């Protein structure tokens, strides 16, 4: 068993190592700096086409305006798919479900 933050776990991995990330709703309570650290490592470890899913308490994604555009710009927000998955989410306590896909950029 490990007791380590997700960000620290990602730091230990090589670049472009993963293609799926599940974050649930923890980002709702993160500070901007912690959120930026997390997405820096997600972006570094993501393969092109990697997917990140997470829930939020509110309907909107918590990322725009909170992490630098240089990081968020490497991801595509799948707004329509997010709406579909939010409507299908069986949990009644979340306001939103979000899907981001890593762009195929030279890194």
pLDDT tens, residue by residue, 25-80: 888 899 999 999 999 999 999 999 999 999 887 778 999 999 999 999 999 999 99
pLDDT surpasses 90 at 8: yes
Neighbours of 44 (CB within 10 A): 17
User: Who wins on pLDDT, 10 or 86?
Assistant: 10
Question: What does the domain layout of the chain look like in residue ranges?
Answer: 17-102
Question: How far lies 77's CA from each of 5, 22, 93, 98, in Å?
Answer: 25, 15, 22, 8
Phi, psi (deg, nearest 5) at residue 78: -90, 80
Could you give the CA distance from residue 71 to residue 76 in angstroms, rounded to a whole number? 11
The pLDDT of residue 95 is: 65
The pLDDT of residue 91 is: 64
């Amino acid at each position: 068993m490990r007791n380590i933050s997700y960000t620290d776990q990602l730091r230990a991995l090589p670049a472009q190592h993963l293609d799926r990330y599940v974050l649930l709703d923890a980002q709702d309570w993160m500070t901007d700096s912690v959120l930026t650290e997390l997405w820096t490592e997600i972006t570094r470890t993501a393969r092109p086409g990697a997917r990140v899913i997470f829930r939020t308490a509110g309907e909107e994604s918590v990322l725009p305006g909170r992490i630098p555009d240089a990081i968020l710009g490497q991801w595509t927000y799948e707004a329509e798919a997010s709406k579909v998955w939010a409507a299908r989410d069986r949990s009644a306590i979340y306001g939103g479900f979000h899907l981001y896909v890593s762009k195929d950029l030279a890194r």
